[in-house]
Amino acid sequence: MTLVDRYGNPIASGYGDLREAIAQRDASLELLSERLAELELAMDDDGWLPLDGWTAVEFSRDGLDRLIRLARLSYLKNPLINHAVSIQAHYVFGQGVNVRGKRDLVNDAIQTFWDDRGNRKSLTRQQALTMKEVELQVAGNVALSLFPSRVSGRVKIRTVPIEEIREVIRNPDDAQEPWFYKRVWRERRLNNGVFQEPVQRTAYYPDWGFRPRRMPGTLDGNPIHWGSPIYHVKVGGFDSWAFGVPEVYSALDWARAVKEDLEDYLTIRKALARFVWRLKTPGGAAGVAAAKDRLGTTVGSGSYLETNPPPLAGSTFIGAQEQRDPVTGRTIAGVDMEPIRTAGATPSLNEGRRVGLMVAAGTGIPETMLFGDADVGNLATAKTLDRPTELQMMNRQALWRDVFNDLADFVIDSSVRSTRGVLKGSIVRDQETEEEIVTLAADDTNEDPELRGEPMDRQVDIDFPALLERDIGARIDAIVTAATLDGKSKARTIDDKNLVKMLLTALGEDDVDEMVETIMSVAEEQETEQATRASEDRTQAEATERLAEAVHDLREAVRPVFPNAA
């Protein structure tokens, strides 16, 4: 039944009833949508909803929003979730990361991007890197917006809140290839010194690797911002899903259970502490009332001062001893007061340990690190990691290494595409895949004669310091062995620059690039001085030899004239 069928002709009956009915239906629809989103997270198997034609099942976008909000609040409020996330973030980026291009021109472009003030706030400085790792664990997604300059080729990077990315439009023939990201946000602009009311806006952003031959200006009537593509990092969930899922999702319920278990334990402790002493007094109800009056407070009984304060700690209670009535012969009970015994009444605090172990299993952080329990930890566990945890940290570092490699490729390509970039090269579009292939110009400065004239190497080295302190000595020994082949002299297997870089990285130095340049410049100066000194020594030796030869020739020449000359 339509609204017209129910309420008749709106022209005849007026618009009031029709508008009211529409408003009621909209309110009911909104309420129903909210309830469905809540039910998604309340159900286990029934909480999965089809999202699109590419995937079989996936969280709906509204359900994912609620899950991300829950994970964020748990990170802020629940110590176990906060500590587990922080431990991994500190292991991954606690010692920083070193990024350097193999060739000087490539490194110049990379360091310009890495040292940009805005980029440092968004991604590249220590705090920003740590917070990005926290965001990835808690939200399951990180969206980075890239802004390349068409003139200089420099790239600026900013973060887009994942809550604003509402949809991922992918290649219909390849679910692994994202094309566009639909962003919906509320924007509040300043007009003549006055903030306007927030306005909802919608726009599409291309994926960082999507550069079609034809670039339309709009999609579904909304603008496409080709100049600021999105780089999307996702974890959790499955590979075919459009969005990631918070990695702490599996531990949230158990972390809440630990919290509730400890609250119950403290509640029992508080209840048992409410009554400290047990007092027995004769006289029935009259005796109980008399004891109550004697022990009760005097505040509010006409006085503002407490004239019957509780005894101090260590006080002595003195009561009457049991005695026999001389007339009746009956035993008269004395006043007896004894402390409440709570031994065995309070549940053990360690009974909920199994619940805490589920949090450790859900986050991948060992119990010794998650709870900081000295009873189950020792010096060895403080300086080592069990193999699964070590691999977990190394795997996350490998993920970020891939991210930095992709960003470096984008920076290099942007420099080539610009009009005044530090890098030059050519851009060719593959006829089959329609993909743009950027090739750097010939490298005429390469020290290797065989590589001169070949395209410049665009390789970027990304190094993380060793996870464990115990690896430092072993790593240095391995580097020395590789460089000398145990011959204790350079075997020319590793060039000096890379050897210095590897040693400084193994030692955990912060600014490896700057130290390498300083050390190498000093080494070059010393080599130059040694070469100059050796050349001067050779020249002096040659001059001395020539002088000796001249003297000898002179002696031979004058010998016939002066036969007695020495």
DSSP letter at 314 equals T
For the entire predicted model, the pTM comes to: 0.70
Listed in sequence order, the residues at least 6 apart from 126 whose beta carbon sits closer than 8 Å to its beta carbon are 93, 96
Q: Which amino acid is at 194?
A: V
DSSP 334-363: --EEEEPP-TTTSPPGGGGHHHHHHHHHHH
504 by Cβ neighbours in 10 Å (0-12 / 13-18 / 19+) ranks as buried
Say how far apart CA 152 and CA 416 lie, in whole Å: 10
User: Pick from 189, 115, 130, 151: which is nearest to 420 by CA?
Assistant: 151
Locus of tokens 């050897």: 499
Locus of tokens 């909803």: 49
Grouping H, G, I as helix, E, B as strand and the rest as coil, residue 140 is coil
C-beta of residue 535 within 8 angstroms of C-beta of residue 516: no
Per-residue CA distances from 543 to 62, 405, 538, 549 (Å):
89, 57, 9, 10
Backbone angles phi, psi at 161, to 5 degrees: -55, 130
Helix (H) or strand (E) segment spanning residue 30? helix 16-42
Q: What angle do CA 363, 505, 487 make, to 5 degrees?
A: 125
C-beta of residue 227 within 8 angstroms of C-beta of residue 148: yes
The predicted structure's pLDDT at residue 27: 65
Say how far apart CA 391 and CA 88 lie, in whole Å: 12
Per-residue CA distances from 280 to 272, 287, 294, 359 (Å):
19, 10, 14, 48
Reading the block at residue 248, the tokens are: 């702490």
The predicted structure's pLDDT at residue 73: 95
Tell me the sheet residues that pair with 160.
Answer: 143
The predicted structure's pLDDT at residue 338: 74
C-beta of residue 224 within 8 angstroms of C-beta of residue 206: yes
Say how far apart CA 556 and CA 566 lie, in whole Å: 11
Backbone angles phi, psi at 435, to 5 degrees: -90, 140
169: left (phi over 0), alpha (psi -120 to 50) or beta: beta
The low-confidence residues of the chain, meaning pLDDT below 70, are 1-23, 25-57, 275, 300-304, 314, 320-323, 329, 331-333, 340, 342-349, 372-384, 469-472, 485, 487-493, 506, 508-511, 513-514, 558, 561-566
Per-residue CA distances from 21 to 4, 34, 274 (Å):
11, 20, 58
Say how far apart CA 164 and CA 145 lie, in whole Å: 12
Reading the block at residue 388, the tokens are: 């699964």
